[in-house]
Amino acid sequence: MLIGSVIAIVGIYFVVTKGEFVAIAVDSGLLWIVVTMVTFAIMIIMTRVLSKRVSPLTITLYSNIIGFAVGVPFIAVLDHPIRVSTDLSDWTFLIVTAIVVHGISALIWNQNIRYVDASKASILSNLEPFVAMLMGLILLYKPVTKVELMGSLLIIGGVVLSTFQRNIKVRSE
């Protein structure tokens, strides 16, 4: 698991630094990734504990309500003056994303987290830079460099290796 984690971290380094062998410059985007990874780890632990006593639907509902309440104040801070799109495609994208990501996938996650070790689920947080890069390509048409692609393969390989090694250990016991 340690080897897989190290490989994934090296991959994250390649994706974040774009292969330039320099110290990582801490900018707002990198800070948001760190905050997201920490809150993801906290969410995994809380969901795992709650899933033993509360239904997955209730956990999903409350986590989305709390997430919405916490996120709303950031609208005024980060988007001043507040702008609201009148484009139907923007609203369609927002609604579909809300239903699929914050509804269906969160419900599936909350249903199954009780069966997965929290440390194993936390390995998935290493995928965040890869997903961010992929979404940048799909939504913002930001090209992916060869180094970022190599880093992405290291991230995925490290996560798979960590998971695979853990499965072998569990089966042999």
Q: How many domains does the chain have?
A: 1
- What integer pLDDT is reported at residue 146 of this predicted model? 85
Quickly state the pLDDT bin for 166 (edges 50, 70, 90): low
Is the bond preceding 56 in cis, omega lying within 30 degrees of 0? no
Of 114, 8, 102, nearest in space to 62 by CA: 102
Of 10, 11, 13, nearest in space to 30 by CA: 13
User: Is pLDDT of 143 > 70?
Assistant: yes
Determine the structural domain holding residue 140 and report its residue range.
2-172
- What integer pLDDT is reported at residue 120 of this predicted model? 66
Decide: 160 and 72 in contact? Cβ < 8 Å: no
User: Is pLDDT of 170 > 70?
Assistant: no
Query: Residues for the chain: how many in total?
Result: 173
- What integer pLDDT is reported at residue 34 of this predicted model? 74
Quickly state the pLDDT bin for 88 (edges 50, 70, 90): very high
Decide: 12 and 157 in contact? Cβ < 8 Å: no
Quickly state the pLDDT bin for 121 (edges 50, 70, 90): low
User: Is pLDDT of 23 > 70?
Assistant: no
Q: Output the CA torsion 33→38→43→44 (10° steps).
A: 100
Cα–Cα distance measured from residue 123 to residue 9, given in angstroms and rounded to the nearest whole number: 11
pLDDT, mean of residues 164-169 = 57
* Residues whose CB is less than 8 angstroms from the CB of residue 76 and which lie 6 or more positions away in sequence, other chains included: 82
pLDDT, mean of residues 59-80 = 84
Quickly state the pLDDT bin for 8 (edges 50, 70, 90): confident
Q: Which of 51-60, 133-142, 164-173 has the highest mean pLDDT?
A: 51-60
Of 41, 25, 57, nearest in space to 125 by CA: 41
